[in-house]
Structure 1
Amino acid sequence: MSSVRAEPRADGTVPGAEPAPRRRTGSGYGRYVAGRLTGAAVSLLAVLVTGFFLFRLIPGDPVKFMTGGRQVSVEQLAAYRREFGLDLPWWRQFTDYCGKALTGDLGTSYQFRTPVIDKITEALPNTLLLTGTAFVLYTALGLFLGTRAAWRGGGFGDRFHTGLALTLYSVPSFWLGLLLIVVFSVGAGPVPGLFPTGGMESGDTTGFAYVLDVAHHLVLPVVTLVAVEYGQTLLVARSALLDEKGADYLTTARAKGLRDVQVKRRHAVPNAALPTVTLVFVNLGRVVAGTILVETVFSWPGLGGLFYQALSVPDLPLVQGLFLVFAAAVILMNMVADLICPLLDPRVGR
């Protein structure tokens, strides 16, 4: 019996043939990138507008703070307001602020009388040292324990680490920081005071002794951040790996003779990496923002402590500048995560 060959349709397809899966083209990914860049720009603009109007609702008069409580005349107060543009209507202050911010000029701090950008660049390395060290530790710890707990799901280790992570993640960071100061700085019962109560350095060391001194001051705030933050990474990594654990391709991999550890490392963990990668980049954006409460509790001279000082005045240019930097870092890292995810999984963004 002769076979009948199916004739192609007008559109070039053959009846009965399954359509080939569509792959992400360069133009498709380009449109995806353009959409994410546009979204990031709109978000940054929203932050710019929100930051300007939000912090003007804070009670307090910055001009009276600048006078230091001294008796000054009405003319002197008016001169201060003219110097910093506070005598202008809000719409004029807003347009001036936006125009300068787009050129990198964040204004002049009321309390320090220096450009805001200079104060930010001065405190930024201290924040990166603290939050960057904590970020590396809690990310590595969370990923390791999360994948280990998920792969041995239901066991004692899984229940213990999941319960501990949930408990620590729900603890307020400032409360845990104060508790660590009481126990390990002041001393409680048989535990002597082992670490400084705050600050970044003792002020009387140089060279390698200075490095050790900074590391000594770094221990308690880093432990606070790691204890509070590692739980989130652990829970996300565990949940993602549990979703992949029962997949058919892992059964096929085992049937081909791969050992359990090879199945986990070569197949399960890479396929479960998408939500974890997103979380890591979000946390990376928060490294620049720092942790205001932890830096305040431990008197750490970073961006978080500077933000708290600026709020107490209120130092509007410094508060607005820090708020913009914090938000820009998070928006940028979210955008980077969005751009990387389609490269890890082509289904994203379709």
Structure 2
Amino acid sequence: MSTESTPALAGSVEPPEPAEPGSTSRGPRSRTLTAYLRYVAGKLVGAAVSLFAVLVTSFFLFRLIPGDPVKQMTGGRQVSSEQIRAMRAEFGLDLPVWEQFTQYCGKALTGDLGTSYQFHAPVIDKITEALPATLLLTGTAFLLYTAIGIWLGSRSAWRNGKFGDRFHTAFALTLYSVPSFWLGLLLIITLSVGVGPIPGMFPTGGMETGGKDGFAYVLDVGHHLALPVITLVAVEYARTLLVMRSSLLDEMGSDYLTTARAKGLRDDLVRRRHAIPNAMLPTVTLIFVNLGNTVAGAILVETVFSWPGLGGLFYQALSVPDLPLVQGLFFVFAAAVIVMNMLADLIYPLLDPRVGR
């Protein structure tokens, strides 16, 4: 038998050669993964640019606040000019603005947000101390108003135009338009101080009474937590309710719901198993945005109820003004929102493949 290869016949089709390693031939799954990775890279770059913009804004914005931090820290006491110069040198306030900015950015990249003027402690330490209280307050409120908003929003949309729908929508919009500090003060007057036959049942502020431990301590913190949480839930649940209601109304006339009903499924099953999962996509984005705001805390509510969280710390820092602490808190608040928005953008294509393709 001849070992020479025979020439190919005219018009014959030769089998394709196997793909070489590193070739550009890719399947649909590989192209989809590449598109998603390109989408992720774009979102990461956008988040990094936003964080740098926040860093710049936090430095220059709060320097527009009137007042001299050194004079505020002295509290009006008689202080010599030498002492004032020494304090300004200690906090770097005697340096040119551009040099202060470059030092601030350089330290921030390493996680050093500076030293608080009034507490004489690292800003990151003060934020770490106050963060658990904020997470307890706003995290509890977040879970409650998200669950209530989704539940009431889905029921209102499913009974669109009926009394329950009109009542829940109007009531939610009314509470959403109420300033949170005003509602908090109203709750303190009625449920803490007491009005007429209504006795005072809750503390006016703070996080704990003191001198308690174990289960008694947990009950005491829960007692102090009740009014601030009620205030936040009453003001915030409307947003989730309205978004969930609107999304579900868009799904109401879809063919797949008609098909599900035609198969004999009960109306409640059609709503829970088919309509709500598809209507949850816009609500997922809102949940992540609210989760970012959870870290920021509720400045007004924490101030009204003297809650020892990030919001109350931010109010204290503004009163000086304690520039490093204000800048650090502002950066943490904004970074939490940016990161959660980025996570929502990254998760959304996994829920809806049309996004990011």
Smaller-chain TM-score range?
Answer: over 0.9
The answer as to whether partners of 2:184 and 2:231 remain within 8 angstroms in 1 is yes
The answer as to whether partners of 1:199 and 1:298 remain within 8 angstroms in 2 is yes
Q: CA deviation at 1:23?
A: 9.8
- Say how many residue pairs are matched: 330
User: How many angstroms apart in 2 are the aligned matches of 1:246 and 1:270?
Assistant: 15
The answer as to whether partners of 1:24 and 1:346 remain within 8 angstroms in 2 is no
Distance 1:22 1:249, change over 3 A: farther
Q: Which amino acid aligns with 1:184?
A: L
Q: Which amino acid aligns with 1:335?
A: M
- 2:167 matched residue in structure 1: 160
Q: Which amino acid aligns with 2:105?
A: C
User: How many angstroms apart in 2 are the aligned matches of 1:176 and 1:292?
Assistant: 14
- 2:125 matched residue in structure 1: 118
The answer as to whether partners of 1:131 and 1:291 remain within 8 angstroms in 2 is yes
Where in structure 2 are the equivalents of 1:297-316 lying within 5 Å?
297-316=304-323
The answer as to whether partners of 1:146 and 1:236 remain within 8 angstroms in 2 is yes
Q: CA deviation at 1:206?
A: 1.9
- 1:127 matched residue in structure 2: 134
Using structure 1 for the length normalisation, give the TM-score.
Answer: 0.92
Residues 1:242 and 2:249 aligned together? yes
Residues 1:36 and 2:53 aligned together? no
User: How many angstroms apart in 1 are the aligned matches of 2:355 and 2:265?
Assistant: 29
Q: CA deviation at 1:22?
A: 10
Residues 1:184 and 2:195 aligned together? no
The answer as to whether partners of 2:349 and 2:355 remain within 8 angstroms in 1 is yes
User: How many angstroms apart in 1 are the aligned matches of 2:111 and 2:201?
Assistant: 43
Residues 1:276 and 2:293 aligned together? no
Q: Which amino acid aligns with 2:77?
A: R
Residues 1:349 and 2:352 aligned together? no
- 2:115 matched residue in structure 1: 108
Q: CA deviation at 1:93?
A: 0.3
Q: Which runs of 4+ in 1 moved over 4 A?
A: 21-24
Residues 1:287 and 2:294 aligned together? yes
Residues 1:70 and 2:77 aligned together? yes
The answer as to whether partners of 1:40 and 1:331 remain within 8 angstroms in 2 is yes
- 1:143 matched residue in structure 2: 150
User: How many angstroms apart in 1 are the aligned matches of 2:297 and 2:127?
Assistant: 12
- 1:88 matched residue in structure 2: 95
Identical-pair percentage: 81
Of the structure 1 ranges 340-349 and 289-298, higher mean CA displacement relative to structure 2 is found in: 340-349
Where in structure 2 are the equivalents of 1:194-213 lying within 5 Å?
194-213=201-220
Using structure 2 for the length normalisation, give the TM-score.
Answer: 0.91
Residues 1:296 and 2:338 aligned together? no
Q: Which amino acid aligns with 1:159?
A: R
Q: CA deviation at 1:256?
A: 2.2
Q: Which amino acid aligns with 1:276?
A: T
Segments of 5+ residues of structure 2 without an aligned counterpart are: 1-27
Residues 1:318 and 2:325 aligned together? yes
Segments of 5+ residues of structure 1 without an aligned counterpart are: 1-20
User: How many angstroms apart in 1 are the aligned matches of 2:71 and 2:217?
Assistant: 39
SS of the equivalent of 1:205 reads coil
User: How many angstroms apart in 1 are the aligned matches of 2:94 and 2:293?
Assistant: 35
